Amino acid sequence: MGFAVQWLGVRGQGEPASRILSLNADEAENIQYAYEDAAESAGGNREQREDARIAARQRILVSRGLQPMGQSAMFHVSRQTDALAHIARERQACLVSLCFDCSGKRVRHAVATSSAGGNVSLFDPNYGEFSSSAAGLPDMFEGLMARYGSRMNGYLELESMVIQGVE
């Protein structure tokens, strides 16, 4: 969460390498802990816990000077095409919370995206920044999901995405 939120703050500034070098590990850790504290304080059923995670992400974005746009959109993996179309909307930045299944356990991970001029940049804290045309986003995303589905990452399988637009 921490690096993805930081990247949203520097998107569009300089070159990808300089953006990545500007990210601060201590700051990312503080953001992550603040998110976990806020998100984990909620009990209840799965839907209530997801609502708490969404609210926590929105508070973190605001605390970092970013403005959430509208409501978060949740997409099941069966609607991945719709989710990617949502991400690729022109002149939009997004915080994307990926929910993976790992042998019955849910694993979450945040990435960030930004689109402009018919191109989409995707930042994954584990793998760096990637760019493609909006039309190439599905292939780029599938490549990233293949990495998470590998033995090295514990055969994670994407279950859903929660997308929050950001200004």
Q: What is the pLDDT of residues 132-161, one digit of tens each?
A: 999 999 999 999 999 999 998 989 999 999
Of 101, 93, 14, whose CA–CA distance to 61 is shortest? 93
Residue that has been written with the tokens 């929660």 in this structure: 162
| pLDDT reported for residue 115 | 96
Residue that has been written with the tokens 């998100």 in this structure: 39
Q: Which residues, other chains included, contact 108 with Cβ-Cβ below 8 Å and sequence gap of 6+?
A: 53, 97, 98, 99, 100
Q: What is the pTM of this model?
A: 0.94
| pLDDT reported for residue 54 | 94
Q: What is the pLDDT of residues 91-104, one digit of tens each?
A: 899 999 999 999 99
Q: Which residues, other chains included, contact 61 with Cβ-Cβ below 8 Å and sequence gap of 6+?
A: 5, 8, 67, 68, 95, 164, 166
Domain count, the chain: 1
Using an 8 Å Cβ cutoff, are 114 and 93 in contact? Answer: yes
| pLDDT reported for residue 44 | 78
Q: Which residues, other chains included, contact 72 with Cβ-Cβ below 8 Å and sequence gap of 6+?
A: 54, 57, 58, 162, 163, 164
Full residue range of the structural domain in which residue 74 is found: 2-166
CATH number assigned to the domain comprising residue 48: 3.90.70.20
DSSP class of 15: -
| pLDDT reported for residue 43 | 74
| pLDDT reported for residue 4 | 98
DSSP class of 14: S
Q: Which residues of the chain have pLDDT under 70?
A: none
**How far does the chain reach from its first CA to its final CA, in angstroms?**
17
The percentage of residues in the chain with a pLDDT greater than 90, rounded to a whole number, is 87
